[in-house]
Structure 1
């Protein structure tokens, strides 16, 4: 492979040494509860691992079910570096992490290029961390798989729901949505706001979700719209903030882990 998206935040958001990275993720996963059945979709945070890794592991540990047969991951996260409308694909053949290269799913990519709101935007992927930080967790919990990485700009939930519906329910496909919750409130305020946001997510009231509630509002709302349409349930399995992990409690960021079984 010649066209490889190189990691942008290794060494800052997570360790750049493979063995240290493996040990860190393994420790997080061992402390998380497993499940008999692997979820079909998850929502996970995307901060530095010392802040949100334990919360993300609460969802990823459920992929270790002996019944998990995931071969394709559809991964959506919000754009933090580039402003645009719609959803951004990458021409890369693979995404690299310290744990190796993950091949992109050309077939899955081709199946969504007809949507008018989907375009190739390499700049959206180049420095984006919301997708990248999920990759080592996926590599540690799944066998070989192909990736469909999508960076979300401004896009209505109903359009994302239409795209996700192409993939949801396929036995070998996992949908991963990347999002943090509230930002830079004090500890107690963040707890209150994030509990409210989790209720909104569980009740599938996607019209009520805003950027103050979740930086990944766009892809999260799309998954909520899909769940509403298909009468699915989104379950909160972990809800904490950086004040619970490695940060002080005066200015915290909220993190939640959610699953659709």
Structure 2
């Protein structure tokens, strides 16, 4: 299970793996898939995940709803560009095929921040339209053009790719 989340702190590399072998959650520990992670050949950061909440908040739900055993690969994106999203998606796909693993990619993002409901809905819909069209480059363009406050548009683009 690949978990791609944004960096709210600015710590870490453009795309960072975590240095730990296990992540804890209120529902129990989750082991990191070190074999998959190693083949990703991305940089590790002790700080990118240490102060970041957006990946770890998903863990209790995974533990609760998924009955089978699974491992995770947490990835934090600090530099959220189409180029980085495509690069990461291609690496994930290549390794999954090489290792013969079925994977689930989960991404973390909030949409509008600090907007009135009506305004937030209209702004969010601009990006949702691109997402529904599976247009990851369009997601980036829309976020930039309308200065959208979608914190995890890089992970969203990774999922689309």
TM range (shorter): 0.7 to 0.9
Which residue matches 1:148? 73
What is the TM-score when the length of structure 1 is the normalising length? 0.53
Q: Which of the two has greater strand per residue? A: 1
Q: Match of 1:218?
A: 154
- The reply to whether residue 165 of structure 1 matches residue 93 of structure 2 is yes
In 2 relative to 1, CA 145–133 (structure 1 residues): closer, same or farther, beyond 3 Å? same
In the alignment, is the contact (CA less than 8 A) between 1:74 and 1:147 conserved in 2?
yes
Residue among 55, 58, 61 paired with 1:131: 55
1:98 aligned onto 2:26: yes
Displacement of 1:96 in angstroms is: 0.4
- CA 1:175–1:111 in structure 2 vs 1: closer, same or farther (change >3 Å)? same
Greater relative CO (CA pairs within 8 A, separation 6+): 2
CA distance in 2, matches of 1:189, 1:164: 36
Confirm or deny: 8 A CA contact 1:197 1:213 kept in the other structure: no
Aligned-partner Cα distance in 1 for 2:45–2:89: 21
Give the gaps of 5 or more residues in structure 2: none
Following superposition, the deviation at residue 165 of structure 1 comes to 1.8
C-alpha RMSD of matched pairs (Å): 1.9
Report the TM-score when normalising by structure 2. 0.83
Aligned residue for 1:87? 15
Matches within 5 A, 1:37-76: 73-76=1-4
- Three-state SS of the structure 2 residue aligned to 1:89 is strand
Cα distance, 1:85 vs. partner? 4.5
Once the two structures are TM-superposed, the CA of residue 177 in structure 1 deviates from its matched residue by 0.8
Contact 1:78-1:153 at 8 Å conserved across structures: yes
Count of aligned positions: 148
Which protein has the larger Cα radius of gyration, Structure 1 or Structure 2? 1
Residues 197 and 79 (structure 1), Cα distance of their counterparts in 2 relative to 1, 3 Å cut = same
Task: Measure the CA separation in 2 of the matches of 1:191 and 1:102.
Answer: 35
After superposition, give the CA deviation of every residue in 1:205-236 in whole Å (9 maximum; x if it has no partner): 22232262521111111222x2xxxxxxxxxx
Tell me if the contact between 1:97 and 1:135 (Cα under 8 Å) persists in the aligned partners. Answer: yes
Q: Report the Cα distance in structure 2 between the residues aligned to 1:173 and 1:133, rounded to whole angstroms.
A: 19
SS at match of 1:180: coil
